[in-house]
Amino acid sequence: MAKTALNIAKTYNNGFIANFENNKYFQLNKNATARADLYFFAIACAMMEKKEPTTLQTVGSIDSFVRIEYLKDDCPALLSSLYYEKILKDEPDKIDDICNRDEVYELAEKYANTGFGILKEWSESLEEEALFYKLIAYMDKKYEEIKDEVNKYI
Amino acid sequence: MRIENIELHNFRQYRNLQINFTCPSGQKDLHIIFAKNGVGKTNVLNAITWCLYDSEMHLGDKYTASPILNSQQVQELREHLVDEKSTLGDSTVRILFSTDDGSEKIRFQRVGKFSVTKEAVIPVGTEFTIMQFKDGEWNSVDDEEETLSLVKKNVPEEIHDYIFFDGEHLENYFKAGQSSNIKNGIEELTQANIIEKAESAFNKYIIEVLNPLFENSSEKDISSAQKELDNIQSAIDASIASIETFTTQIHNCDDEIANLESIINGHVLVSDKTDRLKIVGEQIDSLKVAIDQKKNEMMMFVREYLQYFAMYPAIRDLYNYIQEQDTHGKLPPRIDKFLLKSIEEHKHCLVCDQDLGEHSLTFIEQLKKELEVSSDTSALLNKTIVTLRMYLNKISTYQKKRDFLMEELKDLQNKYNGYLEEEIQINKYLMNIPNTEAINKAIGQKKEYKSKRDEIIAIKGVEEVHKKTLEAQYDGKEKCLKFLINKNKQFEKINKQAIFCKSCRNILRETRIELLAESRSEMEKETFDTFTKLLWKKDTFSKVEILEDYAFRLLDMYGSQTLGSCSAAERALLALSFTLALQKVSMHDSLLFIDTPIGRVDEDNRLNFINTLCEISKTKQVILTFTPVEYDEKVRSALLNQYSTFTELIIEDGVTKIK
């Protein structure tokens, strides 16, 4: 049966993520950030820190976090990119696997939960403002590195 | 006139006591009565006014005051009440006045009779007697009219305020709305009120006797003309009364404004600053919210863009892959299947708006087939590349958007910090102001008074125009009446009387107005001269003005009213100067009895004020009462060797005695 939701480790969902509702850390509470956006933010954190993903089972029992039907129109493209980069890039013949969405979602879950681990650490050690400038500094550096390349596509 | 002595018998806390105010020649006629609170200093003043005017004018509250009859005397009388239901007791006060050279003496005595029962002390009545010492012998004055005239001549009740002072109220003599004090004083002492009485008598005769003769005459023309004239006169009188009321109201506003200015003095910005503080506080609150919102916006921006940057290699690589496939024709063309179906059905191109031929229809048929057979992968990639391009676009605009958001935040924070700094500065300013609330209130009240004053001035202007119109009407009607009366011989005699009475009334009126104007002007000069002579602070004031409604003005060097901003000591001194001037101008040279003269005077000015009173005592009798608190070491030293008598009163077993 096809996947109907993107999952999260229960320990995260009931722990620091639940706390966001009170501490409104980085505006990651439900009212300010949709669950799908938080999920993708977690994936981005994992990518940013270049952490290899762990299998979801290693973080214990799981909760469903985002229903697939609630993903925004542009979300599949981001997940496809991740899947292409991590799985298909060196085996372009298997490009048709990109249509196997369950596999794409499973890979996303791994990265997302790795990202949640990072987010948990940040939320416990960094003030909002410090995190803000950390991420801005990262993007500024990245932008300097890629801006010429990106402009070629535009 | 000066007081030689006062005798009090069974008057309040006094059983039998005589206070002498002898003045050896060459000494200042200054006398001190010293006592603690509650011993009976103010009751000496009450005894004087009771004796002279049958009224205790310095009682705290006459409705709750105990009876005049001494309480021990009441007790003794009650002890002897065996079968009798009541007995009589009496209180007596005697005051011996003399002329400065001692050649004439006059003794005023009042005996109060009281019916004492076991439950109550009921006043029955008083007996007032006067003995006069003239040409070496004492004579009793029996005639009531002569008695009253002697009181009026020596210590007139109307001006008792200018002889017997309560120092606690001295500074209030010239406060707003107190012009009746000045009016009574000037009118009484210049005897303008006598002229006014004569003027009223003529006026009454004209209105009540002569005018009705014309009004009730059988000559209808004359009767109606007189009636009309009377009506116009009534309207003119009402208009004059209104104008006078408006003038007084304007002067009262001026006084209030001057008083308020003394509170506001130097702190005019308080109201603006307080308003500004409120606005700044609101701005700070709204900027706090705006900054929080901006920070949230920036956090969302960071959260969104981090995905594009962190996943940039993945986005780029997939984008490149799809583009490459597309370039090599490995992806189907991006054509809408449904559009093709519609074109085929209508046999008309919906893009170039032309009918399709057989060849074109075959081509569409082929295209449709190709699309049907294209893989899901191709469709997904086709869709994906559009989104990936959007991501790349977003990355390219990162710097611009980031800088814009940061600039906005910085701008808000600068504004916020600016307002915070302003708030600190305003609070610093307001903290240095002793009573911000009182100043704000005063500023608000001053605005109200100013606008009220402007309104009254406008109404007064309208009333003055109205009065002029009435006067013109009156003149016209009077001419008409005169003409009618002159034609009719039966009114010749009445007319002559009317002309005479009107002429007398007008002369008296003009004389009174002139006399008062002259007295006012003399009083202004004399008060100011006395004030500046006695004042310790020179070159501060330029003029005293007494306006026609007796509003009092003390002008500074720039011609502004300063009464409100004077110290209590200066105001008390001004009251004294006015009194001395009044006595001098009216040639009514009385003593001064001041109860607790420095009670309201601040410590810095106490010695100045005492020295002034010593100076006054060179030319007239001055009696002062002090409490131990007022009579401190400095005052004691200042008065040492200055006074003729020093009487210390003490209370023993409820009775006041001389120590």
Q: Measure the CA–CA gap between A28 and B303, rounded to whole angstroms.
A: 9
CB within 8 A of A87, min separation 6: which ones? A94, A97, A103, A107
Low-confidence ranges of chain A (pLDDT < 70): 55-60
Beta bridge partners of B35: B649
Could you read off the pLDDT of B277-336 as tens digits, one per residue? 999 999 999 999 999 999 999 999 999 999 999 999 999 999 999 998 888 877 766 666
Rounding to the nearest 10 degrees, give the CA dihedral for residues B137, B140, B143, B149: 70
Q: Which of B622, B534, B574 is nearest to B171 (CA)?
A: B574
Rounded to a whole number, what is the distance in Å from the CA of A106 to chain B's nearest CA?
17
Cα–Cα distance measured from residue B616 to residue B591, given in angstroms and rounded to the nearest whole number: 10
Best probe of the A interface among B305, B306, B405, B413, by most A CBs < 10 A, is B306
b/e sequence B390-429, b meaning 16+ C-beta within 10 Å: ebbebbbebeeebeebeeebeebeeebeebeebbeebeeb
Interface check for A78 against chain B (CB to CB < 8 A): the answer is: yes
- What pLDDT score does A16 carry? 92
CATH number of B2-155+590-658: 3.40.50.300
With CA atoms as reference, report the closest residue to B639 among B602, B598, B601. B598
**Of A100, A127, A115, A106, whose CA–CA distance to A37 is shortest?**
A115
SS3 B30: strand
Q: Among residues B591, B569, B593, B589, which one has the least CA distance to residue B43?
A: B593
CB contact residues (below 8 A), chain A span 11-70, against chain B: 26-28, 32-33, 37, 40-41, 43-45, 47-48
Taking CA atoms, B504 is separated from B457, B468, B477, B493, in Å, by 34, 24, 21, 17
Q: Any idea which residue has 């004042």 for tokens?
A: B535
Q: Using a CB-CB distance cutoff of 8 angstroms, which residues of chain A are in contact with residue B302?
A: 132, 135-136, 139
**Integer CA distances (angstroms), A79 to A73, A110, B551, B607, B655, in order:** 11, 12, 92, 96, 109
Are B15 and B72 in contact by the 8 Å Cβ rule? The answer is yes
CB-nearest to A84 from B310, B314, B391 is B314
Tokens (6 digits) for A60: 């214990």
* C-beta neighbour count of A107 within 10 angstroms: 18
The reported pTM is: 0.52
The CA angle B434-B436-B439, to the nearest 5 degrees, is 100
pLDDT at A57: 57
Buried b (16+ CB within 10 A) or exposed e, B164-202: bbbbebbbbbbbbebbebbbbbbbbbbebeebeeebeeb
A7 Cβ contact partners less than 8 Å away, ≥ 6 residues apart? A56, A62, A63, A64, A65, A109
Q: Which residues of A touch B306 (CB under 8 A)?
A: 41, 44-45, 48, 135, 138-139
Tokens read off for B425: 């500065």
Cβ proximity of B584 and B569 under 8 Å: no
CA–CA separation, A136 vs B137, rounded Å? 116
Of the residues B323, B383, B387, the best mutation for testing chain A's interface (the one with the most A CB atoms within 10 Å of its CB) is: B387
Per-10-residue mean pLDDT of chain B, 659 residues long, equals 91 92 87 89 88 82 78 87 81 88 84 89 89 82 76 71 68 62 72 87 89 80 85 91 91 82 71 86 95 93 95 94 84 67 82 82 78 69 90 95 95 95 89 77 88 93 94 90 81 84 91 87 87 75 82 80 73 80 75 80 76 84 89 88 91 86
What is the CA B548 to chain-centroid distance, rounded?
A: 21
